[in-house]
Amino acid sequence: MPRRVFVVAAGSSRFGERWEAGQAELAKEAWQDAGFRGKIDSLFVSSMASGAFTEQEHLGPLVLSAIGSGSVPSVRLEAACASGGAAVRQAFLSVRSGEHDVVAVVGLEKMTDVPPDEASRILSQASLAEDEARTGATFPALYALMARRHMHEFGTTEEQLAAVSAKNHSNACLNDKAHFRRTVSVDDVMRSPPVSDPLKVLDCSPVSDGAAAIIIAEEGVARGLSENPAEILACEQASGPLGLCARTTICGIPAAASAAKLALEKSGAKLSGIDLAEVHDCFTIAEIMALEDVGFFPRGGAAKATERGETALSGSVPVNPSGGLKAKGHPVGATGVSQFAECFLQLSGRAGKRQVKGARTALTHNVGGSGATAVIGILSGEVGRK
Amino acid sequence: MPRRVFVVAAGSSRFGERWEAGQAELAKEAWQDAGFRGKIDSLFVSSMASGAFTEQEHLGPLVLSAIGSGSVPSVRLEAACASGGAAVRQAFLSVRSGEHDVVAVVGLEKMTDVPPDEASRILSQASLAEDEARTGATFPALYALMARRHMHEFGTTEEQLAAVSAKNHSNACLNDKAHFRRTVSVDDVMRSPPVSDPLKVLDCSPVSDGAAAIIIAEEGVARGLSENPAEILACEQASGPLGLCARTTICGIPAAASAAKLALEKSGAKLSGIDLAEVHDCFTIAEIMALEDVGFFPRGGAAKATERGETALSGSVPVNPSGGLKAKGHPVGATGVSQFAECFLQLSGRAGKRQVKGARTALTHNVGGSGATAVIGILSGEVGRK
């Protein structure tokens, strides 16, 4: 019988342009924010491209020293922008299996020490290099193809995409770790410069520095470490072809739909019982596809629902209360871990001004590249039940 | 009760300068060599720096497509030159835990598409960038420091280091996948150009392209998939400070000693019962330290034992029958996986001309960077008992 696994602490560095902090400092900041002082049995680090961004690979031992955790096993996981989710999944499995009792996951990326065009080049290595990156198809271009097709199939409008950005900026104003703490209106988004038509600057998540940390433990240990741990009911992952050209659809991400289906089955949770979701809005269209892939709305329904406010903090399914990748920021290796950290805060009633009232069940949705990797987590807390 | 875990198949691409093959082709070649046609539940890929070497990160889905294994979870692990061992360890844990029944590990590195000085720069990202790589301390320089100190402490000679190289080249002549299939004498090594004194060209492992694959399964499934599976009795990992300057000794690698101690304890195996070892001879001094860290010889004893032929194929403890990193080649992400592949061949009696007779128990030793990560595996086969 697999053991039950709980998040017992979580923290985050401030996200943004952190020119004064290196990777070790960012990791330490997230670790201290988590406030965990116990021993860990193993460390999982997630980063997409620390070698290219900072000339430093082999982050496991570097982060282990930064958080002062001795000589336990440490390893880095990479699955492009889903590195964080993939690392949480391995950590989850290592505890569930009985191999470890307490493990830490630290996700990080230090992206702003290189010029923006170099950051774009590095990020494009998460797509199919031979057929996509080398032909000039950067990520905004790949997601623009998806957006254009989604608009063609379902009548999705640019204003509806802009509504995603406006909502997430609004949420980020309530998050003191967020990269952007200012509101933008739908008009602001519509008037922002084009990046890859129909996506504009304010449809895109930023290049950010940042780190996030969670500590997870098996049930018995967890109850001793935290008053309000949040259980990870499931953490499922699926893969798809690396190149967009080989997918069966570009109006959604099949790997995300598969992983969500599995996670819902394994967790026993129902979509109608999910109180909030942290989803991978690297571009506004990505949030729309995420909500449809997971099944919150039928195909073609998420954009309209967003426009109606259903995914706002006060809506029926609050999405990205943290501000999401769009406004909290997207230090790629940190993102998936940060989603779990936000869910932990929400489920333990510690999310402050952005607290989703009565939150008992939360979902995370983390995507790598244009969708070749997807990780879905489902968490449950007890505070919201009280 | 954790489940028993077995290697059921293993394969390798030819190692060397493989300018005609990309990463997907190398992975496919290793996969086909393994000859496994069943389904897998999950894929673990190891690579140190595919982004820097090939502009392609996100190798999980790329390799998954190359080996035709559908949409199961896939993730890349990185722990510098111990990436392969770290990936095998996670795969091992995922089967032992009951999460998966059959998983694959594919390790690869495509290193020769960049100029040699660029390869050296990329590899140095596995050391502490701020205090080592940026001051010009490449890996030959770091291992030269260790060699010099070892010579000072124990009277180890350059000729004894050269004997490691001569032995491993001799073994590689019997391995048709090896990068270098030619003998070198101790004199040849001594006369080869200096790289970082006292290390010469022929003390150093080469920059290689290559891939290795193993498939592991839980006991019941394994017996149906292979006539002679080899059990993984233990796979343990430990960490140390990333920078050499923070270590308690530079005459050995404390993380390797810790991991070996744990692996021996958990496996129940005794050193005297180990019939062969595949160890991380990135430089000749590294093999000497490996043998002392694991405990085959006392400190200062391995170099003399090597000179006496005790680690030769016909010796009391055959070390690196495959040719090792020195002569089989060192495509970094493949190396740790390749060690398990060699042990599987040896333990199932399929190692051909380099077969260690009656081999029943084998040990792998895989190190990342200058020793901040170490992974030790212990395997057991049944053929040698017959």
CA-CA distance, A297 to A281, in Å (whole number)?
A: 16
> Are B238 and B255 spatial neighbours (Cβ–Cβ below 8 Å)?
yes
pTM score of the predicted model: 0.97
CB proximity B75 to A under 8 Å: yes
Q: Min CA distance, B72 vs chain A (Å)?
A: 5
Question: Are the Cβ atoms of A78 and B80 closer than 8 angstroms?
Answer: no
- Quick one: which of B373, B378, B371, B336 has its CA closest to B87? B336
Residue B386 has pLDDT above 60, yes or no: no
- DSSP 3-state of B372: coil
What pLDDT is recorded for position B337?
98
* CB nearest B78 (choices: A78, A255, A372): A78
Spell out which residues of chain B touch residue A52, defining contact as CB-CB under 8 Å.
51-52
Ramachandran region of residue B178, left (φ > 0), alpha (ψ -120 to 50) or beta?
Answer: beta
Ramachandran region of residue B372, left (φ > 0), alpha (ψ -120 to 50) or beta?
Answer: alpha
Question: Are the Cβ atoms of A238 and B73 closer than 8 angstroms?
Answer: yes
Q: Min CA distance, A270 vs chain B (Å)?
A: 23
The structural domains of chain B, with segments of one domain joined by +, span: 5-115+208-225, 126-205+233-380
Q: What CATH class is the domain B126-205+233-380?
A: alpha beta
What pLDDT is recorded for position A146?
98
CA-CA distance, B351 to B345, in Å (whole number)?
A: 5
CB proximity B99 to A under 8 Å: yes
Question: How far is CA A12 from each of CA A27, A360, B288, rounded to the nearest angstrom?
Answer: 8, 22, 43
Residue B384 has pLDDT above 70, yes or no: no
Alpha carbon dihedral B305, B311, B312, B314, in 10-degree steps, equals 100
Stretches where chain A sits below pLDDT 50 are none
With a CB-CB cutoff of 8 Å, which residues 121-160 of chain A face chain B?
122, 125-130, 133-134
Spell out which residues of chain A touch residue B43, defining contact as CB-CB under 8 Å.
239
ipTM of the complex as predicted: 0.96
Set B81, B235, B282, B343: catalytic member? B81
- Quick one: which of A21, A62, A63, A103 has its CA closest to A340? A103
CA-CA distance, A79 to B254, in Å (whole number)?
A: 30
In the A/B pair of chains, how many CB contacts fall below 8 A?
193
Task: Find the residue in A nearest to B375 (Cα).
Answer: A73
What pLDDT is recorded for position A119?
96
Please enumerate in sequence order all residues whose Cβ is within 8 A of that of B342, keeping only pairs 6 or more positions apart, or say none: B278, B321, B322, B351
pLDDT tens across A70-91, in order? Answer: 899 999 999 999 999 999 999 9
- Quick one: which of B163, B28, B39 has its CA closest to B103? B39
Which amino acid is present at B360?
R
CA atoms within 13 A on the CB side of B186: 12
What pLDDT is recorded for position A325?
98
What pLDDT is recorded for position B385?
58
Spell out which residues of chain A touch residue B241, defining contact as CB-CB under 8 Å.
61, 65
What is the DSSP secondary-structure string of B174-189? T-TT-S--S---HHHH
10 Å CB burial of residue A55 (0-12, 13-18, 19+) is middle
* CB nearest B58 (choices: A90, A237, A372): A372
CB proximity A72 to B under 8 Å: yes
Question: Are the Cβ atoms of A77 and B72 closer than 8 angstroms?
Answer: no
B81 in catalytic set: yes
CA-CA distance, A283 to B282, in Å (whole number)?
A: 44
CA-CA distance, B280 to B169, in Å (whole number)?
A: 15
Phi, psi (degrees; rounded to nearest 5) at A238: -145, 160
pLDDT tens across B220-262, in order? Answer: 999 999 999 999 999 999 999 999 999 999 999 999 999 999 9
Question: Are the Cβ atoms of A369 and B61 closer than 8 angstroms?
Answer: yes
Mutate to test the interface with B, among A55, A56, A57 (most CBs of B within 10 A): A57
CA-CA distance, A241 to B144, in Å (whole number)?
A: 44
pLDDT tens across B52-98, in order? Answer: 999 999 999 999 999 998 899 999 999 999 999 999 999 999 999 88
Phi, psi (degrees; rounded to nearest 5) at B110: -120, 95
3-state secondary structure chain A: CCCCEEEEEEEECCCECCCCCCHHHHHHHHHHHHCCCCCCCEEEEECCCHHHHHCCCCHHHHHHHHCCCCCCCEEEEEECECHHHHHHHHHHHHHHCCCCCEEEEEEEECCCCCCHHHHHHHHHHHCCCCCCHHHCCCHHHHHHHHHHHHHHHHCCCHHHHHHHHHHHHHHHCCCCCCCCCCCCCHHHHHHCCEEECCEEHHHECCCCEEEEEEEEEEHHHHHHHCCCCEEEEEEEEEECCCCHHHCCCCCCCHHHHHHHHHHHHHHCCCHHHCCEEECCCCEHHHHHHHHHHHCCCCCCCHHHHHHCCCCCCCCCCCECCCCHHHHCCCCHHHHHHHHHHHHHHHHCCCCHHHCCCCCCEEEEEEEECCCCEEEEEEEECCHHHC
Set B150, B169, B179, B330: catalytic member? B330
A343 in catalytic set: no
Question: Are the Cβ atoms of B65 and A246 closer than 8 angstroms?
Answer: yes
CATH architecture of A128-205+233-379: 3-Layer(aba) Sandwich (3.40)
CB proximity B90 to A under 8 Å: yes
Looking at chain B, the whole-number percentage of residues with pLDDT higher than 90 is 96
Residue B327 has pLDDT above 70, yes or no: yes
Spell out which residues of chain B touch residue A74, defining contact as CB-CB under 8 Å.
79, 239, 373
If you compute the radius of gyration of chain B from its CA atoms, what whole number of angstroms results? 19
Question: Are the Cβ atoms of A99 and B78 closer than 8 angstroms?
Answer: no
Angle at B103 between CA B99 and CA B104, to 5 degrees: 155
* CB nearest A237 (choices: B51, B59, B73): B73
pLDDT tens across B186-231, in order? Answer: 999 999 999 999 999 999 999 999 999 999 999 999 999 999 999 9
Q: What CATH class is the domain B5-115+208-225?
A: alpha beta
Spell out which residues of chain A touch residue B262, defining contact as CB-CB under 8 Å.
none
With a CB-CB cutoff of 8 Å, which residues 344-373 of chain A face chain B?
368-369, 372-373
* CB nearest A57 (choices: B125, B130, B241): B125
- Quick one: which of B10, B27, B110 has its CA closest to B61? B27
With a CB-CB cutoff of 8 Å, which residues 203-262 of chain A face chain B?
236-242, 246, 254-255, 258
* CB nearest A238 (choices: B71, B237, B368): B71
CA-CA distance, A318 to B217, in Å (whole number)?
A: 42
Average pLDDT taken over every residue of chain B: 96
Set A81, A235, A251, A343: catalytic member? A81
Give the right CATH number for A5-114+208-230 from 3.40.50.920, 3.40.47.10, 3.40.50.1240, 3.40.50.1820. Answer: 3.40.47.10
Q: Do domains A5-114+208-230 and A128-205+233-379 have the same CATH topology?
A: yes
| Token digits of residue A219 | 């049930």
Phi, psi (degrees; rounded to nearest 5) at B282: -60, -30
CB proximity A110 to B under 8 Å: no
